[in-house]
Amino acid sequence: MKAIIQTGYQGAISAEVSDIEEDKFLPNSLEVTTTLVPLLPYDIYKLRGEVPVNLPSVPGYAAVGVITKVGGIRSKKLLNERVLVLNPSGTFKSKIVASIPLLTIKIPEHVTDEQAAAVVGGLDTALTLSKKINASSAKNIILTGANSVIGLALLQLLRDTTKTIFPIVSEKSKKYFQEKQQAYRLPEYTEMSNVNSNNTLVVDIAGQEKLLKHYLTHNFDILSIALQNIRGVNFISEFVFPGEYTKMFSWLQSGDIILPIDHVFSYNDVRVAIDYQSENHSRGRNLITFEMEG
């Protein structure tokens, strides 16, 4: 089967398409033929060597696909179901053997493959952040990287909050953000006025330390999903329980949440996809498809 393999830490050139053997299939296993995988910032960090991995490695944590084979002790009714599969050992491959039932989640009929793929590293992270924000006593929330997939998902989750949200986006992303603000029925946000550290929480998605300089200097509470090992920044990375993905799918199905999609690349164009994502501002989740495999 086809797989994308990370062989080094030089960015796109370290991603190679190779033929590999299929994983061992057990009586409790499901074989998922991959449709789409999300290309996440975390995958880019790994390819740059900012996050160490054991090489060679198959990137990816999640994939959307169709169950095409079931083990002897699994129900044959599962055949042909569309699922989101979570697989810590890598998902950038044309077939995934899933042997932990809880990590294979059925996708509802009216949720597209693209939306389902964008949940992981997008809506799930936003959900984690929304819980932190709602539990905080802070009245003001400053959000960096508001135009990102996570940022836009988080703003939709906070649509009815009584807290005051101050989204921060770069000048080049303002038009895109305003378009999504209207499309996703987000409220009008007030311009940031003088806020103090006593009643303000900074939520960092952008991962740019320079954006946090003022808040670090003035001892604001800061949560970040991107920056680790920085004094004054509380890095957040929490496990999302499988049952919560079913809840998130219900939001997508009802239209309460919409996730932005940018490009869908063939697995054969994975280097193009990596360069595109590395060199451009966030305009939605980029996805890689394995459906073009012959």
Which residues, in sequence order, are CB contacts of 135 under 8 Å at separation 6+?
Answer: none
Q: Are residues 140 and 71 in the same domain?
A: no
Q: Are residues 77 and 158 in the same domain?
A: no
Give pLDDT, residue 101: 87
Alpha helix positions (H), 62-207: 113-118, 124-135, 149-157, 174-183
Q: What number of H helices and E strands is found in the chain? A: 8, 14
Residue 252 lies in a domain: no
Q: Are residues 133 and 225 in the same domain?
A: yes
As given in the structure block, the two tokens for residue 122 are 């997008």
Give pLDDT, residue 126: 98
Sheet containing strand 200-204, strands side by side: 164-168, 140-144, 200-204, 221-224, 234-235
Give the three-state DSSP class for 74.
coil
Which residues, in sequence order, are CB contacts of 21 under 8 Å at separation 6+?
Answer: 1
Residue 159 belongs to a domain with what CATH number?
Answer: 3.40.50.720
Residue 294 lies in a domain: no
Which residues, in sequence order, are CB contacts of 67 under 8 Å at separation 6+?
Answer: 30, 31, 32, 33, 78, 79, 80, 81, 83, 104
Give pLDDT, residue 191: 86
Residue 251 lies in a domain: no
Residue 246 lies in a domain: no
Residue 168 lies in a domain: yes
Domain that holds residue 205: 119-235
Q: Are residues 124 and 224 in the same domain?
A: yes
Residue 241 lies in a domain: no
Give pLDDT, residue 292: 60
Give pLDDT, residue 194: 80
CB distance 25 to 1 below 8 Å: no
Q: Are residues 41 and 66 in the same domain?
A: yes
Question: Which residues are 15's β-sheet partners?
Answer: 6
CA quadruple 270, 123, 243, 289: dihedral, nearest 10: -20
CB distance 144 to 192 below 8 Å: no
Q: Are residues 163 and 265 in the same domain?
A: no
Q: What is the mean pLDDT of each run of 10 residues along the chain (294 residues)?
A: 96 96 93 97 93 94 97 96 95 95 94 98 97 97 97 97 96 97 95 88 95 94 94 93 94 97 97 96 96 58
Q: Are residues 32 and 82 in the same domain?
A: yes
Integer Cα distance of 15 and 123 in angstroms: 26
pTM of structure:
0.94
Question: Which residues are 223's β-sheet partners?
Answer: 203, 234
Residue 70 lies in a domain: yes
Residue type, 154: L
| Number of domains within the chain | 2
